[in-house]
Amino acid sequence: MIELTPAELAGIVGGRLFRPDGATIPDVVDGPVVADSRLAEPGSIFFALQGETTHGHEFAASAVASGAVLVVAEAELDLGVPIVVVDDSLAALSTLARSVVATVRSQGRLRVVAVTGSNGKTTTKNMLRAILERVGPVVAPRGSFNNQVGAPLSMLGVDRETRFLVVEMGASAPGEISRLVSIVVPDVAIVLKVGLAHAGGFGSIEETAKAKAELVTELPADAVAVLNADDTRVAAMAGSTRARVVTFGLSESADVRAEDVATTVRGTEFTLVAGQTRTTATLRILGEHNVMNALAALAAVREFGVGFDEAVEALEELARAERWRMELLAAPDGVTVINDAYNASPDSMAAALKTLAEVTRGANRAIAVLGEMAELGEYSDEEHDRIGRLVVRLNIDILVVVGHGARHIHNAAGLEGSWNGESVLVTDADGAYDLLRGELRSGDVVLVKSSNSAGLRLLGDRIAGVS
């Protein structure tokens, strides 16, 4: 973060600086801003936020013990460090992020790119970071810091040397992306896809589309909206933005598109086409859906003056999208594991299964280990059913369904006429591991896919022998 005196920080957030007896007020604070006391380190600033069941006040002492030199809280706390007392810590966090980004931006160096979509945000963010790091200092969130807390915390990582800020903007309810855009209006905004992720919070895919469109509706005319030409709901957002529109996709109408996409267990190759430019790209990341993410990143960085050759070279060096996201693992016994169990929606589950089918193509056994897709609300049974039927239609050899919440995948597979008992329902990850331990053989390709809450990501590591 940029240097601020505690008094300046208090003034920005509309707070009152409280000095407990014996507390030393530092001349300036510029350390990392955290809301999780476990992430506090010497020099950090701790925001005590209200959680679902606990308040950050309960963890402020732990943050100070780990080195936090300033606490933003909703009460006077006697912790031996100065306290900025505010009415609403979350609102103060957003206000501070808005001010810090605006200050750095006023120097004329900082450019901001934001990403939203039902799937692919984190992968696209990592691709953007890999490319832009070749040009200058980049701030981008680690993991999926994309909500009302995580996004402002990520923004507060900028300092006066930062050239690029990459922000993920996720939402579980209408209005959340609008609030993030109000903190930092992007120079370039990417909308990847509208699907049923978090459908339980939105109620329908149409409402999900409205929420994702919040990213582009408030863009100024000198900004750029990078939209998926292959998703009709995303493409329609061109009519609701003042920004210049650039499209990406597989269709010939896209400004930045891919041709000749081919996926093997070694990676994904495609031809990048943009105007008169044609160049071959070979990603180490699997899947046609990740080609779409790459196209979005390539279209965005071109707006910052980054050439396609340099950008493609950076993408080709990217070893994986993120830990537990289409992560390719080679087990000592010759089994290949695609560990994609950090998150799951109907679209991403279908994309991962299609990738599994494509990389095996009858030459190797395809084994799918699937857990629950969370946060689907009333669509849950129907969408799990659809995935079960898709497994059969893709000729996946073995299906292992883990947990009661995913049972409709197993049930639907069994109802398909061509299925002959190749699906097994087990209670938990241990049951899946015990089953597979006696089943797997060299050459098998195993996809492990579920929402994070299903807890299968460590199962993929265990199958591959990764500690």
Sheet of strand 45-47: strand arrangement:
16-18, 83-85, 70-73, 45-47, 33-34
Beta bridge mates, 445 = 336, 366
Residue 450 known to bind ligand: no
Please tell me the pTM assigned to this model.
Answer: 0.87
Query: Is 277 assigned to a binding site?
Result: no
Q: Domains for the chain: give ranges and CATH numbers.
A: 6-87 (3.40.1390.10), 107-316 (3.40.1190.10), 327-464 (3.90.190.20)
Interacting residues of 333 by C-beta distance below 8 A, sequence separation 6+:
440, 441, 442
| Dist. CA 169–CA 173, nearest whole Å | 12
User: Which tokens belong to 32?
Assistant: 């990392």
Evaluated on CA atoms 239, 244, 246, 252, the torsion sign reads: positive
Q: What does residue 348 show for φ and ψ, rounded to 5 degrees? A: -70, -30
Q: Are the CB atoms for 339 and 429 separated by under 8 Å?
A: no
pLDDT value at residue 362: 78
d(CA 328, CA 440): 17
pLDDT at site 320: 78
Looking at residue 62, the DSSP 8-state letter turns out to be H
Cβ atoms of 28 and 3 within 8 Å: the answer is: yes
pLDDT in tens, 176-199: 999 999 999 999 999 999 976 555
Q: Annotation-wise, does 427 bind a ligand? A: no
210 is in an annotated binding site: no
Whats the size of the chain, residue-wise? 467
d(Cα 46, Cα 76) in Å, to the nearest integer? 14
Q: Check residue 108 and give its pLDDT.
A: 85
Secondary structure of residue 280 in the 3-state scheme: strand
228 known ligand binder: no
Q: Please report the pLDDT score of residue 170 as a whole number.
A: 86
Residue 289 to residue 283: CA distance in whole angstroms: 12
Q: Which of 110, 146, 114 lies closest to 128 in space, CA to CA? A: 114
Q: Write down the pLDDT at residue 17.
A: 97
Q: Please answer whether residues 191 and 214 qualify as being in contact, where contact means their C-beta atoms are separated by less than 8 angstroms.
A: no
If you ran DSSP here, which 8-state letter would residue 440 be given? -
Identify the pLDDT of residue 111.
97
Check whether 287 is labelled as a binding-site residue.
no
pLDDT of residue 102: 96
Whether residue 170 is annotated as binding a ligand: the answer is no
Question: Which segments of the chain have a pLDDT < 50?
Answer: none
Q: How far apart are the C-alpha atoms of 353 and 409, rounded to whole Å? A: 13
Question: In sequence order, which ranges of 199-319 are alpha helices (DSSP H)?
Answer: 199-202, 205-217, 232-235, 288-302, 308-316
